[in-house]
Amino acid sequence: MTYPEMLSKAEALASDFGCAVLRGEPLSKHTSVRVGGPCDLMIFAPDAETAARLHFEFAGISLYSMILGNGSNCLFSDDGFRGAVIVPLKDPGGITVSGGLITAPAGAQLSAVCSKALESSLTGLEFACGIPGTVGGAVYMNAGAYGGEIKGIIETARAMDLSGKIRDYSAEDLMLGYRSSRFSFSGEVILSATFRLEKGDREAIGAKMQELLSRRRARQPLEYPSFGSAFKRPEGTFAGLVIEESGLKGKTVGKAQISPKHANFIINLGGATSKDIVGLIELAQKTVLEKTGFVLEPEVRLIPPEKQQ
């Protein structure tokens, strides 16, 4: 099957699954850093299970595909993406509460889950109220902030494997570590997650969320497109600290900049390219290693234009 035939086959499959399809959609419109070239196929799935089934169907015709949440940790090439990017619907209506348990589909915004927790007077998710991602992305990366992380509140996660089998994993089975989980290597697709929270005072929960959001606004360059944190925390220190100590705060490559406000943020000043950002990542890694001895590991996923299945 030729590549154009693969794309036509994938487009027909997506239509059969009730999905909307765009050709040549700019990935810059779907990533938080607003960078990325055209995608050969962008598919909007009604839910995470449909997205997962399509992803595995595409593997069967040797078409590379990936599932994209909020695009907050992804850096696509300026050349775009050869294959299919599948985006599940971000539907807050799929979030349910039962006692102290709150369940949400993988495509739901984490901020919407936090709002539901506040509405239900449930405490434990306050740390996540400003994290710019989806539930699936948060579980995949074991997202965390301000002393909290997904590992501390998750009850179960539901996922689909390559054979199409759906399985529920306990918190222990998820192998959650620092910005990692079993999904980092298993090839499974996260469908939903259930978090165990505690009953609390709604006013106190809201006040804590507002406090943390205010701290984010004061310390982070939220006025510019970015990934959030660009690098993982090196053992024994903080990425922003060693970048600042290395004299890189405010450094620019093209239209990308290491933020003068927070050195672990790479921001898009307007019109930045993937090449600009990769240049800054590599400069930071090289300079920090030379000046401090610390190795910086990106939190950002660098996604090439094409990749073999």
H/E element, 119:
helix 110-119
Total residue count of the chain as it appears in this document: 309
- Flag whether pLDDT at 113 surpasses 50: yes
Cβ atoms of 211 and 226 closer than 8 Å: no
Q: Kindly report the number of other CB atoms within 10 A of residue 92's CB atom.
A: 14
- CA–CA distances in Å: residue 119 to residues 60, 95, 254, 275: 43, 12, 44, 43
229 is catalytic: yes
- Flag whether pLDDT at 106 surpasses 60: yes
309 part of a folded domain: no
- Which residue in the list 34, 82, 158, 179 is annotated as catalytic? 179
CA distance 231 to 289: 13
Name, in order, each residue with C-beta under 8 angstroms of 57's C-beta and a sequence gap of 6 or more.
Answer: 13
Name, in order, each residue with C-beta under 8 angstroms of 128's C-beta and a sequence gap of 6 or more.
Answer: 110, 113, 114, 138, 143, 145, 148, 150
Coil, strand or helix at 221: coil
Domain count for the chain: 3
165 part of a folded domain: yes
Are 81 and 173 contained in the same domain? no
163 is catalytic: no
Domain boundary among 53, 88, 123: 88
Residue 309: per-residue pLDDT: 34
- Which residue in the list 65, 229, 259, 274 is annotated as catalytic? 229
In a 13 Å sphere around the CA of 285, the CA atoms on its Cβ side amount to 14
Are 101 and 82 contained in the same domain? no
Range of the domain at 203: 92-218
Are 271 and 203 contained in the same domain? no
Are 24 and 37 contained in the same domain? yes
CA distance 149 to 257: 28
The alpha carbon torsion through 210, 69, 224, 26 (nearest 10 deg) reads -150
- What is the pLDDT averaged over residues 79-101? 91
Are 135 and 167 contained in the same domain? yes
Cβ atoms of 287 and 246 closer than 8 Å: yes
- What is the pLDDT averaged over residues 203-231? 95
Are 117 and 213 contained in the same domain? yes
Residue 308: per-residue pLDDT: 36
Are 115 and 211 contained in the same domain? yes
Are 266 and 285 contained in the same domain? yes
* Residue among 115, 98, 117, 122 nearest 201 (CA): 122
H/E element, 168:
strand 166-170
Burial class, 2, CB count within 10 angstroms (exposed 0-12 / middle 13-18 / buried 19+): exposed
Q: Kindly report the number of other CB atoms within 10 A of residue 245's CB atom.
A: 15
Are 125 and 199 contained in the same domain? yes
- What is the pLDDT averaged over residues 264-283? 97
Share of the chain above pLDDT 70, in %: 98
Angle ∠(294,296,297) on CA atoms, nearest 5: 140
Domain boundary among 55, 88, 121: 88
- What is the pLDDT averaged over residues 34-41? 96
Domain boundary among 88, 114, 144: 88
Are 80 and 137 contained in the same domain? no
pLDDT band at 132 (very low <50, low <70, confident <90, very high): confident
Q: Domain of 27: which CATH number?
A: 3.30.43.10
125 part of a folded domain: yes
Cβ atoms of 149 and 179 closer than 8 Å: no
Share of the chain above pLDDT 90, in %: 92
Mean of per-residue pLDDT scores for the chain: 94
Q: Domain of 193: which CATH number?
A: 3.30.465.10
Are 33 and 114 contained in the same domain? no
110 part of a folded domain: yes
Are 206 and 263 contained in the same domain? no
pLDDT digits (tens, 9 = 90+) for 5-37: 999 999 999 999 999 999 999 999 999 999 999
233 is catalytic: no
Residue 91: per-residue pLDDT: 73
